[in-house]
């Protein structure tokens, strides 16, 4: 932990991160199962309930937006938009992060303001520019009118189990199974040396040499494993560059917006690079449209390095090798209200 604390401190003070031994940052294959919190073990019934809730637009004020609207499980786990459209077409200021492999993040949201998947799930439902429900009570009052949910909450959580906390637990349990193992890199690490192209292998080396993996470490490329709730944050941008104005990199103060602590200004949770070639546009505000430009910007703003075109091409080829296998998932059946609508 000492080493990690050092990194965070050094990032805060803006000191360059070159010259650190990379030995601790060996590439790791993505596990096929994510760690479960002790108070929310995944069960078949809970995951099924969570899947229904995840896809149910009735969790939004006007019945048009579900979790899946912005975090599309059938695609990249995002909506591939700079910022997402909530109810009535409203847009927030940050880009929807992918739900795939989010179980491996030790904090949630771009600014780490939620410790767990469960905590995260509670946010967008009540956010006025996202799903816009007026209160936890309003959500649960609506779900109480859907017999299929009443039955399932009772079966999964017990007689008094129909609570907003348990709604979040069910959604979290579903999200925890959204894992994409067996990316070319994972197969490569397990011994299939042909799984990565020559360009990807060059890119892998460049990724280390340039220093990308100082932050994008661990199996999820989102930093080292930390206890739940302990975020791995970095200042972005760390170095000033032309990109600050070109892409408005400092318009959003990052974690500071959540904590109001001076030290958190422009601090961001290090995001995953898993499936990164599917989740354009890039960065917290989706201002960078392509992965090659995102690589260039990161090298400059975080490591003060100008990459050659060859380095960019190779690193992108390596990142393309982080796209995993998406599991086959059956569609949920959303429980109905007979003879009337809750969202008309």
Nearer to a second copy, 40 or 84 (CB): 84
* Known catalytic residue at 175: no
135 with 126: CB under 8 angstroms?
yes
Nearer to a second copy, 48 or 264 (CB): 48
30 with 186: CB under 8 angstroms?
yes
Nearest to 233 by CA among 225, 223, 248: 223
**What is the spatial distance between Cα 253 and Cα 260, in angstroms, rounded to a whole number?**
10
Nearer to a second copy, 8 or 280 (CB): 280
Task: Check residue 281 for interaction with a second copy (CB under 8 A).
Answer: yes
48, 118, 130, 175: the active-site residue = 130
Min dist CB 277 to a second copy, Å, is 5
User: 339, exposed or middle or buried, with CB in 10 Å at 0-12, 13-18, 19+?
Assistant: exposed
Nearer to a second copy, 217 or 287 (CB): 287
Non-local (6+) Cβ contacts of 81 within 8 A are 95, 96, 281, 286
Nearer to a second copy, 87 or 167 (CB): 87
171 with 10: CB under 8 angstroms?
no
Task: Check residue 290 for interaction with a second copy (CB under 8 A).
Answer: yes
130 with 51: CB under 8 angstroms?
no
Rounded to 5 degrees, what angle do the CA atoms 161, 73, 338 make? 50
**What is the spatial distance between Cα 10 and Cα 152, in angstroms, rounded to a whole number?**
49
**What is the spatial distance between Cα 15 and Cα 233, in angstroms, rounded to a whole number?**
14
Min dist CB 324 to a second copy, Å, is 12
Task: Check residue 80 for interaction with a second copy (CB under 8 A).
Answer: yes
Rounded to 5 degrees, what angle do the CA atoms 266, 267, 268 make? 115
**What is the spatial distance between Cα 139 and Cα 164, in angstroms, rounded to a whole number?**
8
Count other C-beta atoms under 10 Å from residue 79's C-beta.
19
Q: Which one among 76, 98, 116, 222 touches a second copy, defined by CB under 8 A? A: 76
Stretch that binds a second copy, among 12-20, 77-85, 96-104, 127-135 (CB under 8 A): 77-85
116 with 122: CB under 8 angstroms?
no
Nearest to 308 by CA among 179, 233, 203: 203
Task: Check residue 79 for interaction with a second copy (CB under 8 A).
Answer: yes
Task: Check residue 75 for interaction with a second copy (CB under 8 A).
Answer: yes
Q: What is the DSSP letter of 91?
A: B
Task: Check residue 126 for interaction with a second copy (CB under 8 A).
Answer: no
Binding to a second copy (CB under 8 A) within 311-330 occurs at 316, 320, 326, 328-330
Q: Which one among 81, 113, 201, 265 touches a second copy, defined by CB under 8 A? A: 81
Stretch that binds a second copy, among 29-37, 245-253, 289-297, 299-307 (CB under 8 A): 289-297
Nearer to a second copy, 65 or 303 (CB): 65
Q: Which one among 40, 72, 101, 272 touches a second copy, defined by CB under 8 A? A: 72
Task: Check residue 111 for interaction with a second copy (CB under 8 A).
Answer: no
- Please tell me whether residue 22 adopts helix, strand or coil conformation: coil
Q: Which one among 24, 155, 228, 336 touches a second copy, defined by CB under 8 A? A: 336
x-marked contacts with a second copy along 26-65 as a string, rule CB under 8 A: -----------------------------x-x----xxx-
Nearest to 295 by CA among 319, 272, 271: 319
Q: Which one among 38, 74, 193, 308 touches a second copy, defined by CB under 8 A? A: 74
- Please tell me whether residue 20 adopts helix, strand or coil conformation: coil
Min dist CB 276 to a second copy, Å, is 8
Total binding residues for a second copy by CB under 8 A?
A: 47
Residue ranges in contact with a second copy by CB under 8 A: 55, 57, 62-64, 69, 72-76, 79-82, 85, 87-89, 277-278, 280-281, 286, 289-292, 316, 320, 326, 328-334, 336-344
Active site residues: 130
């Amino acid at each position: 932990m000492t080493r990690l604390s050092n990194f965070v401190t050094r990032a805060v003070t803006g000191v360059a991160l070159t010259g650190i031994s990379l030995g601790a940052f060996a590439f790791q294959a993505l596990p096929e199962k994510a760690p479960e919190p002790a108070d929310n073990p995944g069960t078949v019934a809970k995951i099924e309930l969570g899947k229904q809730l995840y896809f149910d637009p009735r969790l939004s004020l006007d019945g048009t937006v579900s979790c899946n609207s912005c975090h599309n499980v059938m695609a990249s786990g995002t909506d591939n938009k700079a910022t997402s459209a909530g109810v009535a077409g409203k847009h927030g200021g940050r880009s929807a992060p992918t739900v795939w492999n989010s179980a491996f993040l030790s904090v949630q949201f771009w600014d780490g303001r939620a410790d767990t998947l469960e905590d995260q799930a509670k946010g967008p439902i009540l956010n006025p520019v996202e799903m816009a429900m007026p209160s936890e009570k309003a959500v649960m009052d609506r779900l109480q009118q859907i017999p299929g949910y009443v039955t399932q909450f009772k079966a999964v959580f017990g007689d008094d189990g129909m609570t907003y906390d348990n709604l979040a637990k069910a959604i979290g349990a579903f999200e925890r199974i959204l894992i994409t193992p067996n990316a070319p890199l994972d197969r490569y690490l397990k011994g299939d040396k042909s799984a990565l192209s020559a360009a990807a292998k060059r890119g892998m080396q460049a990724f280390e040499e340039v220093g990308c993996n100082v932050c994008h470490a661990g199996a999820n490329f989102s930093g080292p494993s930390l206890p739940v709730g302990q975020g791995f944050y970095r200042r972005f941008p760390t170095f000033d560059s032309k990109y600050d104005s070109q892409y408005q990199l400092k318009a959003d103060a990052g974690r500071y917006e959540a904590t109001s602590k001076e030290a958190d200004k422009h601090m961001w949770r290090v995001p995953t690079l898993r499936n990164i070639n599917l989740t354009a546009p890039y960065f917290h505000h989706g201002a960078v449209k392509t992965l090659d430009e995102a690589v260039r910007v990161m090298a400059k703003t975080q490591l003060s390095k100008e990459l050659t075109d060859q380095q960019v091409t190779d690193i992108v080829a390596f990142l393309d090798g982080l796209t995993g296998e998406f599991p086959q998932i059956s569609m949920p059946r959303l429980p109905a209200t007979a003879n009337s609508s809750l969202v008309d």
